[in-house]
């Protein structure tokens, strides 16, 4: 009930009393001397009744206001709980965790005697697989079960926070040192050795932990959280499952960040170059073709492909990078083939990530159309990594590639576990023996036997044989005696720019 309604009720009641009370009094009382007396009583009655009405209205208004205030307070408390509490687990959420961490930092920074505390960033390792396989409902139950287990580790004034997804944070106050944090972390890892039972299913869920310490690893909540996240990343990627932050992690991530930004700029500004490492027929020394290799020049020389190729794969830039190499390699090979009057082969490595994007067919077709090269001159070098997790899809793409006239080479043969079965199942034209066996074949009878067996098998399957990593004359002569079709390596030629490739194209290596 609002104040306006209270006033309105009082006004109507008073008006009705004034209008009807006099008429009613004249109707009931006939003697004039009694009329005056009853007029006074009527006034007293009006005061009493109006006071009672006002009191009743005031009580109603007070109750209504109290209910509204209670409702608002309850709603505010609910909003506050929602803002600072995780709905699924009931734990403090990320916002509350940051608030608690800032409060803890403020308290410690006021003390003259330094106090140490630690922050453990915990991640469930295979949670995404559980979510994708069993559904989000089961995933939520796993998160709740993990939260209850972690709560069982808490002692005294430790704080457990759900950071989001499958990530949790534990703040350990007043720890005695690194050993205490390490012991606590190992206890958590051991706790996850037991399976989590959900809806009758026993699920093995392991964990990884990154740890930061105050004040060694940071004096602000943002830095401590960031560094703990970095340590967690390293624990997941490189193992062991528990890692303390150190400064080299920041340097590594900074280098990777610079690579991401630099690679994007290099692609836009056409800074990347295609180099060529020729391969020859061991018997005649004739140039057969070359392998295209991407190079990224910088102030000190070249950025290692081992550094920037994984970055290109993880950021999705591998498609643009691969398409660039394909186009340039095909155009250069077409030009040199015309100059020499013979068709040279160009071999191009295809990343499993690039292959999985399903853009390889369009990129190949565009490179062939733009360059005008014969499709049979193009060889795609792939490893068995392209088949992992997508055997059927990879087989379909390989058939489309071969249907275009492009040939396939099994790269790094001998390193994988399933290369033989893939050679039998898919339309490969070449087998490339891994350089580790080539470089060891002179000193190691076992390596020589493996190379000999690989050559015999490839010949039986009517596959062309490419030996990479040839570094000595003796290795080349042994490969010639085994009737290897093509040889490649530093002894014959190092990777070179296209203008140098043009210069050496007529030189035989016998």
d(Cα 406, Cα 366) in Å, to the nearest integer? 13
Q: 29-33, 169-173, 193-197, 346-350: which has the highest mean pLDDT? A: 346-350
In this structure, are strands 287-298 and 242-244 parallel, antiparallel, or unpaired?
A: unpaired
Res 21: pLDDT: 61
pLDDT tens, position by position, 386-421: 776 666 777 888 889 999 999 999 887 766 554 676
Asked whether the predicted pLDDT for residue 9 surpasses 90, the reply is: no
- In 3D space, the residue among 472, 340, 485 whose CA is nearest the CA of residue 407 turns out to be 485
- For 245, residues 6+ apart whose C-beta sits below 8 A from its C-beta are 210, 211, 212, 213, 217, 227, 228, 230, 231
In this structure, are strands 242-244 and 207-214 parallel, antiparallel, or unpaired?
A: parallel
The H or E element containing residue 122 is strand 117-124
pLDDT tens, position by position, 54-92: 777 777 777 877 877 877 776 666 666 677 889 899 999
Backbone phi and psi for residue 277, each to the nearest 5 degrees, phi listed first:
-110, 110
> Residue 137 gets which letter from DSSP?
H
Average pLDDT over residues 31-58: 63
Identify the residue with better confidence: 116 or 291: 291
CATH topology of domain 94-245: Alpha-Beta Plaits (3.30.70)
Confidence grade of residue 1 (pLDDT, cut at 50, 70, 90): low
In this structure, are strands 117-124 and 207-214 parallel, antiparallel, or unpaired?
A: antiparallel
Res 238: pLDDT: 79
Statement: the pTM of the whole predicted model exceeds 0.85: no
On the 0-12 / 13-18 / 19+ scale of CB atoms within 10 A, 222 is exposed
CA angle, residues 428, 430, 431, in degrees to nearest 5: 105
- Classify 472 as helix, strand or coil: coil
Identify the residue with better confidence: 395 or 135: 135
d(Cα 507, Cα 445) in Å, to the nearest integer? 33
pLDDT tens, position by position, 178-190: 888 999 999 999 9
d(Cα 320, Cα 278) in Å, to the nearest integer? 24
Each domain of the chain, given as residue ranges in start order, spans: 3-84, 94-245, 267-504
CA angle, residues 360, 361, 366, in degrees to nearest 5: 100
Asked whether the predicted pLDDT for residue 23 surpasses 90, the reply is: no
- For 481, residues 6+ apart whose C-beta sits below 8 A from its C-beta are none
Sheet holding 159-164, edge to edge: 159-164, 167-172, 117-124, 207-214, 242-244
The H or E element containing residue 20 is helix 3-28
Letter string b/e over residues 170-207, b meaning 16 or more CB atoms within 10 A of that residue's CB: bbbbebeeeeebeebbeebbeebeeebebeeeebebeb
Max Cα–Cα distance, the chain, nearest Å: 149
Asked whether the predicted pLDDT for residue 338 surpasses 80, the reply is: yes
Please spell the DSSP secondary structure of 304-334, one letter per residue.
Answer: -HHHHHHHHHHHTTHHHHHHHHHHHHHHHHH
Poorest-confidence range of 12-21, 291-300, 307-316, 331-340? 12-21
- In 3D space, the residue among 45, 51, 56, 48 whose CA is nearest the CA of residue 21 turns out to be 45
Asked whether the predicted pLDDT for residue 42 surpasses 90, the reply is: no
Average pLDDT over residues 19-30: 58
The answer to whether 295 and 319 are in contact (CB under 8 A) is no
d(Cα 432, Cα 455) in Å, to the nearest integer? 10
The answer to whether 451 and 441 are in contact (CB under 8 A) is yes
d(Cα 347, Cα 289) in Å, to the nearest integer? 8
- In 3D space, the residue among 265, 289, 269 whose CA is nearest the CA of residue 278 turns out to be 289
Arithmetic mean of pLDDT over the chain: 85
The answer to whether 258 and 272 are in contact (CB under 8 A) is no
Res 84: pLDDT: 83
- For 42, residues 6+ apart whose C-beta sits below 8 A from its C-beta are 21, 25
Residue showing tokens 């199942």: 425
d(Cα 453, Cα 420) in Å, to the nearest integer? 12
% of the chain beyond a pLDDT of 90 = 46
Asked whether the predicted pLDDT for residue 385 surpasses 80, the reply is: no
Cα distance from N-terminal residue to C-terminal residue, the chain: 105
- In the numeric block, which tokens belong to residue 400? 């489309």
Its CATH class, for the domain covering 267-504, is alpha beta
Res 416: pLDDT: 56
Confidence grade of residue 295 (pLDDT, cut at 50, 70, 90): very high
d(Cα 327, Cα 325) in Å, to the nearest integer? 6
């Amino acid at each position: 009930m609002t104040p306006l309604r209270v006033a309105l009720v009082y006004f109507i009641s008073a008006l009705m009393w004034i209008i009807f009370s006099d008429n009613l009094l004249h109707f009931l009382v006939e003697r004039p001397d009694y009329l005056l007396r009853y007029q006074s009583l009527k006034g007293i009655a009006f005061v009493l009744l109006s006071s009672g009405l006002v009191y009743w209205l005031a009580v109603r208004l007070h109750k209504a206001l109290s209910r509204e205030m209670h409702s608002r307070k309850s709603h505010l408390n609910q909003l506050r709980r929602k803002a600072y509490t995780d709905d699924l687990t009931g734990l403090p959420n990320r916002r509350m965790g940051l608030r608690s961490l800032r409060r803890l930092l403020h308290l410690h920074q006021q003390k003259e005697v330094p106090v140490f505390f630690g922050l453990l960033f915990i991640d469930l390792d295979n949670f995404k697989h559980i979510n994708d396989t069993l559904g989000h409902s089961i995933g939520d139950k796993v998160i709740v079960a993990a939260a209850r287990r972690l709560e069982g580790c808490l002692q005294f004034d430790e704080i457990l926070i759900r950071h989001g997804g499958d990530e949790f944070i534990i703040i350990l106050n007043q720890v005695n040192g690194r050993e205490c944090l390490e012991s606590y972390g190992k206890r958590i890892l051991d706790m996850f050795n037991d399976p989590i039972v959900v809806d009758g299913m026993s699920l093995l869920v392991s964990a990884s932990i990154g740890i930061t310490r105050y004040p060694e690893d940071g004096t602000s909540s943002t830095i401590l959280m960031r560094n703990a996240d970095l340590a967690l990343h390293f624990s997941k990627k490189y193992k062991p499952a528990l890692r303390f932050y150190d400064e080299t992690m920041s340097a590594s991530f900074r280098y990777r960040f610079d690579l991401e930004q630099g690679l994007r700029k290099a692609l836009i500004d056409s800074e990347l170059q295609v180099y060529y490492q020729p391969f020859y027929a061991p018997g005649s020394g004739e140039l057969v073709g070359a392998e295209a290799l991407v190079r990224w020049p910088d102030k000190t020389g070249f950025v290692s492909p081992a550094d920037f190729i994984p970055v290109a794969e993880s950021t999705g830039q591998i498609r643009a990078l691969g398409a660039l190499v394909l186009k340039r390699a095909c155009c250069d090979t077409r030009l040199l083939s015309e100059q020499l009057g013979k068709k040279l082969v160009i071999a191009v490595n295809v990343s499993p990530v690039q292959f999985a994007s399903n853009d390889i067919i369009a990129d190949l077709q565009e490179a062939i159309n733009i360059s005008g090269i014969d499709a049979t001159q193009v060889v795609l070098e792939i490893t068995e990594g392209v088949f992992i997790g997508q055997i059927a899809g990879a087989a379909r793409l390989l058939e489309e590639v071969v249907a275009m006239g492009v040939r396939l080479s099994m790269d790094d043969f001998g390193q994988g576990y399933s290369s033989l079965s893939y050679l039998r199942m898919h339309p490969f034209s070449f087998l490339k023996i891994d350089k580790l066996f080539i470089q060891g074949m002179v000193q190691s009878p076992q390596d020589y036997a493996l190379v000999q067996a690989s050559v015999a098998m490839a010949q039986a399957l009517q596959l062309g044989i490419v030996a990479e990593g040839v570094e000595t004359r003796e290795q080349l002569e042994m490969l010639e005696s085994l009737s290897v079709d093509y040889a490649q390596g530093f002894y014959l030629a190092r990777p070179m720019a296209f203008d140098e490739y043009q210069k050496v194209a007529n030189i035989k290596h016998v």
